[in-house]
Structure 1
Amino acid sequence: MTFPSIRRLRTADCPAFKQLRLESLLNHPDAYQTSWEEESQKSDAWFDARIRQNVIFGAFTPEARLIGLCCYTRPQKLKSAHKAIVWGMYVAPDYRGNGVSLQLLNHTISHARTRAHILLLSVTSSNLAAYRLYQKAGFCQYGQEPDAMKLGDIYYSERLMFLPLR
């Protein structure tokens, strides 16, 4: 497999971003704090604003198909602006197991390193593949939030992780 190219999403990528983001929420409802039901009702303008207001890197095939996302934001408040927070990571099923996730994550870390002091994320405790990916990239667990999310009648805990950037 040819590794994809990684670049920051632009507003022209909005339709592909919306499609892949909704796919991620539909396929893995236990991995995200938001739901497909909530985000599928959002307008194209809302998704466009997500691209403009966050840092979203996409992995693209040589044919320019968006196959992966890694999203982060920085708080706007002065006292917490030194942090960056990963809020979305996803790679299409056909492209998993080939290093795309790590490539996306490393690209995001490199970008955040020049802008933030620490990178934070949370991962559902049952998502061991993602947890191992974050560990491989250097993230350390600093806590766990019990019952962080409820999906139907099931509660999910989340591991809280950090990566010092400087």
Structure 2
Amino acid sequence: MMKYKILLSFASIMLLAGCETLQTPQQRQQAAARQQAAARHADERLHRIQGQVESSEMEYARLVQEMQQLREEVRSFNSQISQLNSKMSSLEAKQAREMNELIKRVEGLLKKSVASRPSKPSRGAGREHVVESGHTLSAIASAYGTTVKAIKQANNLKSDSIYVGQKLFIPE
């Protein structure tokens, strides 16, 4: 920036020194005053531009820093997402294993329950079953060797919903 000032001042001096024409002293003074005013105006513009450049550089540095911080946050979030996905996958696998174990236990309990109860013939060949906590129509059907559809038809059920204590006729 200082180079521009020196160059501008040097150019002004050279113009003033090399412009000896047939002017009156008053005209030379006016020309010198105009040149000085032009030099001041150029110097003011130069200072304004320097200020704008400095301001732009500061804003650029701030934006670069902000972008760096955002990149760090994105990396952190991506890491957290990966960890959560991993945990979720292991929880889903654990849940599936536990559900299979529960189904097997309920089926075993149903088979024991069915074996321990005497069959009551009503509505043709079949047995009566009292629904207990955790029983489902599919587990009951599996335990008795029949189908959900057959149980629903024999008991006039419109949906698969059953409740604890409900008595169901299980056709053979």
Normalising by the smaller structure, the TM-score range is under 0.3
Higher relative helix content: 2
Q: Greater Rg, structure 1 or structure 2?
A: 2
In the superposition, the TM-score normalised over structure 1's length comes to 0.23
Q: Quick one: higher RCO (CA 8 Å, sep 6+), 1 or 2? A: 1
Higher relative strand content: 1
